Structure formats: C-alpha cells, structure tokens
Structure 1
Amino acid sequence: MAGRLLFSSLRQVQKLQKACIHGRSRIGNREVVGFGYNGQCSYQDRIDFPMPAIRFKESTSDIVALREKEKGDWRKLTLEEKKALYRASFCMTFSEINAPTGEWKSILGIACLFISLGLWIVVLEKFFVYKDLPPSFSEESKKAQLKRMIDLRVNPIEGISSKYDYEKGEWKK
C-alpha cells in the first residue's frame, strides 16, 4: 500500500515537472509544430536548424482566421496576409539573420583598448620597475667574456671552444 502511494505521488511529481519544463506554462498559447532543436519546446532563429518547435507568436483570432484562409487557394491571399502568416510563424527571415550587426566594431575597439593598456603597462614598468642592466651586458664585456672562455678552452667537444681554431687564432668555417 505504501509503495503504491509512493509510486503514484512520484508519478504526479514527474507530470508536474514535465508540465513546468516542457508544457504550456512556458510557451503560452503558441502552437507546437514540430520536434524542434534537441526536442525542446522553444523558439530560436537558427540557420543550421530552420524549423523551430513552436510558432513565434501566440495564436490570436486574426492569425487563426488567416490560417483557415491559408488552407484554401494561396492565390487568393494578399501579399500582406502572406507576410502576416510568415511573421506569425517566424521572427526573422534568412536575410535578416545573416545581416551584419556591426558588433565587430565594438569588439575591435575593446581589443585595441586592452592592447594599448598592456603596452602602457610595459612602458611604465620599463621606466619605474626595472633597474639598469649590469655592466656585464655591454659589448666590451661580452667580448672579454668570450675571449676568456676560449682561453680556458671551455667545453672543447661541442661548445664554443670546438668552433675556434687555436693554431690560426680564428673561428672555424
């Protein structure tokens, strides 16, 4: 008895959850016309999946009358009625979806702002954070250090000393 009561209460909870997630409470009076993207009752204007699960607008008396008239000869419909039927089912046309939005301008502007901010930080660090280079980084000091390494024959097998000809006193070619 308790198991049956628990099972029936779980079934009611599932029905409530299903109604809240996929039911009429979320889509209102809009007509479900297909499976949709991923089987959800939602509307999205997508190029890769052009058939949404529900219509864009809720059914009103005008739209219902146009849908009844639509079932007959389409040549009897005016251009405005055809457009109204289309706009009741879809929000945008393919050309409206593909139209440029100009969003790239703001993205480029923000990217340039961050790049310039980074460059200013590098320049300010160079002036205020980093100290002057030690004297061992000068050209004369580097040449003297290289001469000392050759004189001491540092790493004569694969290193700098292996590339120096001691008999001629010059670099090997």
Structure 2
Amino acid sequence: MHLDVVENLTATRKKLLHEISGLSDEKLNKKLDEDTWSLAQVCHHLYLSESVFTQAIIYGLSKSNGRKAEPVPVQLAADRSQKAKAPEIVAPGDDHLDYQQIKELLNKSRNLFLEFYNQLEDKSILAEKSTKHPIFGYMPLDQWVELIYLHEERHIKQIKEIKSQL
C-alpha cells in the first residue's frame, strides 16, 4: 500500500498544480459568486484539510484504546454530485493568494504528512486503529490516508468546473 499511497499523492498533486499553473492572480482569486470558492480558496482548503487529516491520523495512532473501525466508502469523497459543507476548521479564508503562495502551502502540508508517513515503520497499524471523521464517522486510519488524494481529486474536478466559468 505504501508505494501506491505515495504514487497517488504525487500524481494527484501534479494534476492539481497543472490545473492552476499559469493562471493570473486575478483568476486564482476570482469568486464566481458569494457561495463559490475561488481557485485559491479551494487550494487553501486542501492545505488545511491535509494538515488536519495528518493531525487526525497521528491522534488516532496515539490513542492507547484506539478501536478498529470497519472500512467506509471513502471513494464517495471524489463524487462531486454529493455536496458537502466543509467543517469550519478546514474552511478557507478570504486571503488573496498567488500561485507561489498556494504552492508553498500545499508543499508544507504534503511535507508534514510525508514526514510522518515515511517514519511510520509498520504501516499496517493504520488499518487497525481509527478516529472519527466529520462526514464518514469512525474510519480506519489507512482510509484517512487514502482520503487525502481522493479529496484532492474531488477538488480538482471543482477547479475544472470553476475554470470553465472564469
């Protein structure tokens, strides 16, 4: 699983950066309406989410009485037909971000995750412990890892939708 995880994270991030590279600051920060995030806000949300997911996984591993949860259908995270409101903790701000700032934020959260993940000697422990997700409920920690790139896939689709309307 380890190699697949890193490959999927790398491929998804490459797609994300490809979608936003070369866009002007104006396009990156333009909101189509009050209820729609700008491209920069979508990316800020991904940075916040990956940071929180990493913290949640670390927390789940640290629980001495951590219980094993049944797998949940995390693939639904990539389905844009199912709308979900982002929890406040991962809601993006209104800060104006340029491409370089976005890239730095995304690199920061990815590096923190990979630093933790690569130090984990026995990755099978991730399937044995769980913690609660705000949408999926209790889920195994290995699915939290999978959710990082599935969630990013979801928002790449959103970015494409927004770009087509800019």
When normalised by structure 1's length, the TM-score is 0.18
- The higher radius of gyration belongs to 1
> In proportion to residue count, which structure has more helix?
2
When normalised by structure 2's length, the TM-score is 0.19
